[in-house]
Chains A and B, each alone.
Chain A
């Protein structure tokens, strides 16, 4: 299992200032996990995230946001827990 430097849990919509801030701060060795309203920023985040980008499947499905581009990997809560154990640090935005 590869290590993650920082796991960024991003639950804000792309309109929220913290959304942009999170993507600015996340480096190439980091992983950004979109949850809750954060999944609405899938397209915006795909364009600008320098590290790995993931999205929580339950929140995508709830909002009817399909993974149309197919570029983002989706995870469930079990995988989210595993991500937090693999990351040296977890930041919730």
Chain B
């Protein structure tokens, strides 16, 4: 029984993405298998070199980099959406796996949830 938490909203302009991360980290803390899927504008969470100090917010880059250590099984990103936002593999955080968001992907998880 593995859970997929989906983030499809961009960083810093809203809180839903952060709240989705908290959900994933909570599941991991309780030893529940969990992966994160970034799709749509949500792929922008994965861009290297974010400096949100300019908008007085905390960077999530470090949190995401630490996700595997905290027990999050995978950071998945929709490859078409990465292309759409000009995110080439070199721009992405290291631990990201590119995937296609299709029925087969979702079939691999027993639960799928959004934060809002």
Can you name the residue of chain B whose Cβ is closest to the Cβ of A88?
A: B110
A89 touches B111 (CB 8 A): yes
A92 touches B114 (CB 8 A): yes
B27 at the interface (CB under 8 A from A): no
Output the least CB separation between A35 and chain B (Å).
15
B82-106 residues with Cβ-Cβ distance < 8 A to A are 101-103, 105-106
A27 at the interface (CB under 8 A from B): yes
User: At the interface, is chain B mostly helix, strand, loop or mixed?
Assistant: mixed
B40 touches A17 (CB 8 A): yes
User: At the interface, is chain A mostly helix, strand, loop or mixed?
Assistant: mixed
Interface string of A12-53 (1 = CB under 8 A from B): 000001100100111100100000000000000000000000
Can you name the residue of chain A whose Cβ is closest to the Cβ of B42?
A: A17
A17 touches B102 (CB 8 A): no
B32 at the interface (CB under 8 A from A): no
B55-92 residues with Cβ-Cβ distance < 8 A to A are none
Output the least CB separation between A3 and chain B (Å).
15
Interface centre among A17, A18, A25 (most CB of B within 10 A): A25
Query: Using Cβ atoms and an 8 Å threshold, which residues of chain B touch A27?
Result: 103, 107
9 A-B residue pairings within 8 Å (CB atoms): A18-B40, A21-B101, A24-B102, A25-B105, A25-B106, A89-B112, A91-B106, A91-B113, A93-B114
